[in-house]
């Protein structure tokens, strides 16, 4: 892993942008994208740049089950707001959270990934070491699958919904095996709350208890951390 330590999220956004620009300059055609607060500063840099995505394809990590693409809390909506409206791609794929048939929805997404091999995959890191919605114990060979969200995730998401009953209980997510197929991986983490997960990811054993630790087995991983997230590294 190539570890880069930056001063803050803004510097991390610029560092992440540089990784994207280099990948595109080197011929990347398919970008794997992520949602959440961590990648926002990277997307801000991409939007502000003169990079042209109109000939490229994007493939997103995950989506809530039960939310339509136009729902304000869907990941499809998030991507439209933070990137796609300003920088349209030739094709942009997000798992179909509106499809209740998990077998069909996950198979279709695996087909999309197979037809669009990912050149650069962007990831955030959960406090428990999860990547995508792959929680501890996930099979490292897993492909796209339906995930039951943890109680803590459901509780954390409740503030975004008017009614607690509206909070999604499941998501469709690329599996760890799907993620590891990407030619290059960029994972970003900020804040002291992520420090233990960062140390386990980089310096701990490769174990299903820390899904991100499987990135140690990948030949091309770039890690961007602020000083707080890197504070438990030796």
Q: Which residues are catalytic?
A: 62, 128, 130, 135
Length of the chain: 234
Between CA 210 and CA 134 the distance in angstroms is 10
Q: How many helices (H) and strands (E) does the chain have?
A: 7, 10
Q: What angle do CA 93, 211, 166 make, to 5 degrees?
A: 55
**In contact, 191 and 200? CB cutoff 8 Å:** no
Residue in 33, 34, 41 with CA at minimum distance from that of residue 16: 41
What is the dihedral angle through the alpha carbons of 209, 215, 217, 222, rounded to the nearest 10 degrees?
-160
Between CA 191 and CA 37 the distance in angstroms is 12
Tokens matching residue 46: 């991409």
Between CA 226 and CA 233 the distance in angstroms is 12
Give every CB contact of residue 159 below 8 A, 6+ residues apart in sequence: none
Other beta carbons within 10 angstroms of residue 181's beta carbon come to 16
**In contact, 180 and 216? CB cutoff 8 Å:** no
């Amino acid at each position: 892993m190539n570890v880069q330590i930056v001063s803050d999220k803004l510097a991390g956004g610029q560092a992440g942008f540089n990784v994207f620009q280099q990948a595109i300059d080197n011929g990347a055609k398919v970008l794997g994208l992520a949602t959440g607060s961590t990648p926002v500063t990277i997307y801000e840099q991409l939007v502000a740049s003169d990079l042209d995505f109109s000939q490229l394809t994007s493939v997103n990590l995950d989506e809530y089950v039960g939310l339509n693409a136009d729902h304000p809390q869907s990941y499809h909506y998030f991507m439209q707001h933070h990137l796609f409206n300003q920088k349209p791609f030739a094709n942009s794929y997000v798992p179909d959270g509106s499809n209740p048939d998990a077998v069909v929805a996950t198979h279709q997404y695996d087909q999309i990934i197979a037809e669009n091999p990912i050149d650069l995959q962007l990831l955030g890191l959960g406090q428990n070491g999860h990547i995508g919605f792959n929680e501890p114990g996930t099979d490292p060979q897993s492909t796209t699958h339906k995930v039951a969200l943890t109680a803590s995730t459901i509780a954390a998401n409740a503030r975004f919904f008017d009614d607690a009953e509206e909070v999604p209980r499941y998501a469709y997510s690329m599996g760890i095996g799907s993620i590891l197929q990407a030619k290059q991986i960029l994972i970003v983490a900020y804040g002291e709350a992520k420090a233990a997960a960062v140390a386990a990811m980089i310096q701990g054993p490769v174990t299903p208890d820390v899904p991100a630790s499987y990135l140690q087995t990948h030949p091309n991983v770039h890690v961007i951390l602020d000083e707080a997230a890197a504070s438990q590294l030796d």
